[in-house]
Structure 1
């Protein structure tokens, strides 16, 4: 007779608490903004005590950075899975840029903007965010090469990736400020055409 385990281990409980704190942090950043987000509010939303929160994250900057890294990891995982199913040919490039737009807009963009604006005057937050941003850039570069399928020098692929990322980041900010969706679509379509021309010449 097989006995079903009903009790979680200490490690499982710890991981669940950490996950709840990170999800609550992202939700607070999106709904309240950085200035109004407190560790007390995060702990309350996560359903944990302040002591449990401090056990996992000793400072607000550490918690915020871990939350953004947590969100990045989820999005990179989704992008990786989606990139594997991209169609061949020119459509692959267009779909790849759409994939970047989906990844860098929405929740990611809102949470990241809140943190980077705060980091301008918060040295501790700025220093903890930098390696997370570099890691995201590296992962995006690998996905970008996979998505374009281009046989171009690494430096050129990196330049095209950075241009694409900064375009979608700017468009995400435009969306947050109430810019028109038609204009964003037009700019994305124009960049897709530019990319296709460059890849054909390459």
Structure 2
């Protein structure tokens, strides 16, 4: 391959990746701004600044596009979350901080976009099949980093604390979407951090 051809190939690949990224970012933007029902392929293309044919080139179905968009967002947030978790101290001192990081990661833009898809997926088997692996992958990856923070805590207890935290934070994120009381959410999160530290201390091996 000549140098000119190689540069042309790289440029084409870069353009394809830029188009794909623009579509994924626009999909997330639509989910957050107008919801799944109104997030038509045409609206996504308009926001991304690409033709409708570009979507068909990258994604076979709308469900595939939606799942890829959430995966795109979760990969970015997962990297940020993993870096933050890796910087935490081990043991009980890191438990409360880890819960705060999980709350940050599972709320906000990610929570809004995923909630839209979960609700739609209840009656859409194709969408449900597309997003389920993405959600599970995020959970497995995050759990791996959380168990490192947990140190010597038994694996089953570390996983229990993790999934309790994830489900609590998701519920609190939904409460925020519905306009719930922010003071109450903070109280609930602080109380869970207190309980989690106690559960951790109770299960962790005693120092000799």
1:142-188 deviation line (CA, Å, top 9, x unaligned): 121123x3312222211111100000000000111111111111111
Counterpart-to-counterpart distance in 1, 2:14 and 2:61: 23
Alpha carbons 2:111, 2:173 under 8 Å: kept: yes
Other-structure match for 1:153: 154
Report the Cα offset of residue 89 of structure 1: 5.3
Aligned residues between the structures: 197
Match of 2:206 in 1: none
Say whether residues 1:199 and 2:187 are aligned partners: no
- Using a 3 Å threshold, how does the CA distance of structure 1 residues 113 and 58 change in structure 2: closer, same or farther? same
After superposition, the CA RMSD in angstroms is: 1.6
- Tell me how far 1:87 sits from its aligned partner: 3.9
Q: TM-score, normalised by structure 2?
A: 0.90
Cα offset for 1:90?
Answer: 3.8
Could you tell me the TM-score, scaled by structure 1's length? 0.93
Distance 1:110 1:63 in 2: 17
Deviations 1:71-126 (A, max 9, x none): 11011000011112224554421111000000000000000000000000001000
Matched, 1:171 2:172: yes
3-state DSSP of counterpart to 2:36: coil
User: What residue in structure 1 maps to residue 20 of structure 2?
Assistant: 18
Aligned to 2:36: 34
Q: Which moved more, 1:152-161 or 1:175-184?
A: 152-161
Q: CA deviation at 1:16?
A: 0.5
> Cα–Cα, structure 1 residues 6 and 56, in superposed 2: closer, same or farther, change >3 Å?
closer
Structure 1 residues without counterparts, runs of 5 or longer: none
Cα separation, 2, equivalents of 1:59 and 1:199: 45
Output aligned runs, 1:1-202, within 5 Å: 9-87=11-89, 90-147=92-149, 149-202=150-203
Query: Residues 65 and 198 of structure 1: is their aligned pair in 2 closer, same or farther, counting only changes over 3 Å?
Result: same
Q: Which moved more, 1:84-93 or 1:37-46?
A: 84-93
Give 3-state SS (helix, strand or coil) of 1:9's partner: helix
Q: Secondary structure at the match of 2:96?
A: helix
Separation of aligned partners in 2, 1:176 and 1:146: 31
SS in structure 1 at match of 2:152: coil
